[in-house]
Structure 1
Amino acid sequence: MLGRKLLVAAILALGIVAAPVAAHAADTAAYDRLLARYVVASADGINRVRYAVWSSNANDVDALNAYVASLERDRPSRMTRDEQLAHWINLYNAVTLQIILENYPVRSIRDIRSETLDPRGLIGPWRTPRVTIEGRRLTLDQIENSILRPEFNEPRIHYAINCASLGCPNLAARAWRAGSMDADLTAAARAYINHPRGVSIDAQGRIRVSTIYRWFAADFGGNAGGVLTHLRRYASPELQARLARATTISNYNYDWALNGSN
């Protein structure tokens, strides 16, 4: 027994046994500073990103790249559910920003093509491998559709991840955090649903909603009725009253123009 203890002590002294890897490696404060500097809340309720200024600042481009690299060192398998959510949402959004900055100027994220074709016909950068998490090489498409949607079963995720487009829910001006996850998801849902790009109703009572609710209908109840129920849950009292008797959705719309700002 004594010999074994001495052997273990010798191994530890030589540094042969690796220290356990921490679950969290990402520098959230650094990401907060970047978002505060470059995400601008516009008068029309849409958060826009100062891509032109950011892309010309090499230090801040490097800082974003360093943040993504730190997320790659994270170990989400060792995190709580809300910590995992924060990790994957921040990763998705930060990589999206990376992609735009690497290709700027572009009019739309769809001007940037993937390395492989999307069998659904979706044009954009979502199927290019970008990051490695716990040994798994991932695309944005996989983060959204193989991890976030099936593993968390949380429709409000769609209000948190951002695809650099005017039609998308706002890119938050700070990193997502586990401690306020539920409240922040609810706030993001309300902000989008009560904005015209989420839901609008014309003088004839016809309802137009974001195409997000068609692309991901399965996450919102599977049909128009389920979508409308979801919308009423987060609508303002005025919008709730207008949606009260609605049974159909007349039209879907989405603006793919870049969410850029001067």
Structure 2
Amino acid sequence: EEAFAHWANLYNALTLKVVLERHPVRSIRDIRSSGVPLDPKGWTGPWRTRLVTVEGRRMSLDDIEHETMRPTFRDPRVHYAVNCASIGCPNIWPRAWRAATLERELDAAAAAFVNHPRGVTVLPDGRLRVSSIYSWFREDFGGSEAGVVAHVRRHAAPPLATRLTERTAIAGDAYDWALNDAPAGT
């Protein structure tokens, strides 16, 4: 729990630092990685810039999330703990993650996202639209649409859980890359 909290807090602090250093920006994707080749998948954003040195190794946000947290902890709640400063992202936790309260708070963060339309929406025709996080990282959420639905059902409040009963397919996904920012003057 201590290691998980450390890595998640480091990721979030670095993300905030990157955004604040370039503010105002419309989206974190407007901030380009520097000092590295273009992303082979065509992603834009600061995730590949080496921002910090940990035990002698220069690391990027991608390194922290995809080479350290996801393979080390093998917990889909990593995606609720780290924040990319976008509206489509799960809420940033209002205080630093702590080992003593980590399990309870990760479950609360998962529930907050799953039960918000940014996470899961049951469309009027009964089909599901989910956050693109569940598509991008499907392997972390059970490896299939049915696995994603089972994951979100575990964190769904009763009204949503009831609507998810017997659903195993996802109609589509969405993500809002706009900066999760306070309006000017607030």
**TM-score, normalised with respect to structure 1:** 0.68
Corresponding residue of 2:120: 199
Deviation at 1:217, TM superposition (A): 0.4
Q: What is aligned with 2:179?
A: 258
1:220 aligns with 2:149: no
Deviations 1:27-71 (A, max 9, x none): xxxxxxxxxxxxxxxxxxxxxxxxxxxxxxxxxxxxxxxxxxxxx
Q: Which runs of structure 2 are paired with 1:1-262 in the superposition (5 Å)?
A: 82-115=1-34, 116=36, 117-262=38-183
| Partner SS state of residue 121, structure 2 | strand
Deviations for 1:209-233, whole angstroms, at most 9, x for unmatched residues? 0000010000001110100000110
Q: State the TM-score, normalized to the length of structure 2.
A: 0.96
**Highest CA radius of gyration, 1 or 2?**
1
Structure 1, gaps ≥5 residues long: 1-81
Which AA in structure 2 matches 1:227? V
- Output the CA distance in 2 between the equivalents of 1:109 and 1:218: 25
Share of identical aligned residues, percent? 58
Aligned pairs, number: 181
Q: Secondary structure at the match of 1:255?
A: coil
Name the structure 2 match of 1:55.
none
Letter in 1 for 2:12: N
The residue that corresponds to 1:30 in the other structure is: none
DSSP 3-state at the match of 1:252: strand
Deviation of 1:172 after TM superposition, in Å, equals 1.2
Moved over 4 A (4+): none
In 1: Cα distance, 2:76 partner to 2:114 partner: 13
Shift, 1:253, TM fit? 0.2
